[in-house]
């Protein structure tokens, strides 16, 4: 018999809409600001190290990234960066927070089809204000019965969300682009998972080794999801 599920949860950034390319574009703009001070090939590695150090303080999102860009610029320029150049970096961050939301191909159609038969949840991590703004601008909020914005995606966090809504993990399917955040911890708590890789993946979300246990499925694009769900699961609303 097909497993029964009554909720399908979705990651947001780089699963429903474009996100990581904006960060890569910001990094290129940072290189332009710092070109007079250093060899720009240094920037990627140094920015990654500063971001990693700051995640526990500022969490995920554009504001924390902007602070990390400023800190990286000060360190790499040995304090020589000007106030005007720091303002340029701040403006890079502001523009990132105002970027239009670009839905990935097939997203709206997939959500429309799935919403007819099962409850949908948006389960994403990041800065609360930033993510709420993206959700509102996406035009997708009406599809989701539940919306949860969390500071981290790990097993305790997922279990806390499931407990809040009285969700049985075995009856939930998680869909996301990150093996590290969306798939591995979900499989660990006994839920179902579908990995839909994105062309661009944030370096912090990459895993040194692939998952050793094949307890999840992988699809090429989100447009394949409705048919996959229909063929694999028995659906009912919570």
Residue 205 has pLDDT above 50, yes or no: no
Residue 227 has pLDDT above 70, yes or no: yes
Residues in the chain: 238
Q: Mapped to the 3 state alphabet, what secondary structure does the chain carry?
A: CCCEECEEEECCECCCECCHHHHHHHHHHHHHHHCCCCCHHHHHHHHHHHHHHHHHHHCCCHHHHHHHHHHHHHHHCCCCCCHHHHHHHHHHHHHHHCCCCCECCCHHHHHHHHCCCCEEEEEEECCHHHHHHHHHHHCCHHHCCEEEEECCCCHHHHHHHHHHCCCCHHHEEEEECCHHHHHHHHHHCCCEEEECCCCCCCHHHCCCCCCCCCCCEECCCHHHHHHHHHHHCEECCC
CA 45/CA 42 separation, integer angstroms: 6
Conformation bin of residue 196: beta by default, left when phi > 0, alpha when psi is -120 to 50: beta
Low-confidence winner among 23-32, 82-91, 162-171 (lowest mean pLDDT):
23-32
For the chain, the structural domain boundaries read 4-18+101-235, 20-97
If you average pLDDT over residues 137-165, what whole number do you get?
96
Average pLDDT, the chain: 90
Conformation bin of residue 28: beta by default, left when phi > 0, alpha when psi is -120 to 50: alpha
Which pTM value belongs to this model? 0.88
**How confident is residue 171, by pLDDT bands cut at 50, 70 and 90?**
very high
If you average pLDDT over residues 73-77, what whole number do you get?
93
Between CA 53 and CA 60, with CA 58 as vertex, the angle to 5 degrees is: 90
Residue 54 has pLDDT above 80, yes or no: yes
Listed in sequence order, the residues at least 6 apart from 228 whose beta carbon sits closer than 8 Å to its beta carbon are: 194, 217, 219
**How confident is residue 116, by pLDDT bands cut at 50, 70 and 90?**
very high
Q: 223: burial class by Cβ within 10 Å (0-12, 13-18, 19+)?
A: middle
Residue 109 has pLDDT above 90, yes or no: yes
Q: Hey, what CATH topology would domain 4-18+101-235 get?
A: Rossmann fold (3.40.50)
Q: Hey, what CATH topology would domain 20-97 get?
A: DNA polymerase; domain 1 (1.10.150)
**How confident is residue 201, by pLDDT bands cut at 50, 70 and 90?**
low
């Amino acid at each position: 018999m097909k497993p029964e599920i009554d909720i399908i949860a979705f990651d947001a950034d780089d699963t429903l809409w474009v996100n990581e390319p904006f960060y890569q574009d910001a990094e290129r703009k940072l290189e332009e600001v710092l070109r007079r001070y250093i060899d720009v090939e240094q920037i990627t590695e140094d920015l990654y190290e500063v971001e990693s150090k700051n995640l526990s303080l500022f969490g995920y999102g554009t504001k924390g990234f902007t602070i990390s860009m400023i800190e990286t610029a000060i360190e790499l320029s040995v304090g020589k960066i000007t106030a005007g150049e720091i303002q340029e970096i701040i403006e890079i961050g502001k523009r990132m927070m105002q970027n239009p939301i670009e839905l990935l191909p097939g997203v709206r159609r997939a959500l429309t089809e799935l919403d007819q038969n099962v409850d949908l949840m948006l389960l994403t991590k990041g800065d609360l204000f930033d993510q709420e703004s993206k959700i509102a601008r996406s035009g997708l909020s009406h599809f989701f019965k539940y919306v949860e914005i969390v500071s981290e995606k790990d097993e305790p966090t997922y279990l806390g969300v499931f407990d809040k809504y009285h969700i049985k993990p075995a009856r939930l399917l998680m869909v996301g682009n990150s093996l590290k955040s969306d798939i591995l911890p979900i499989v660990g708590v006994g839920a179902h998972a579908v990995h839909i890789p994105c062309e661009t993946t944030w370096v912090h979300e990459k895993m040194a080794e692939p998952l050793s246990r094949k307890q999840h499925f992988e699809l090429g694009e989100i447009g394949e999801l409705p048919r996959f769900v229909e063929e694999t699961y028995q659906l009912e609303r919570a």
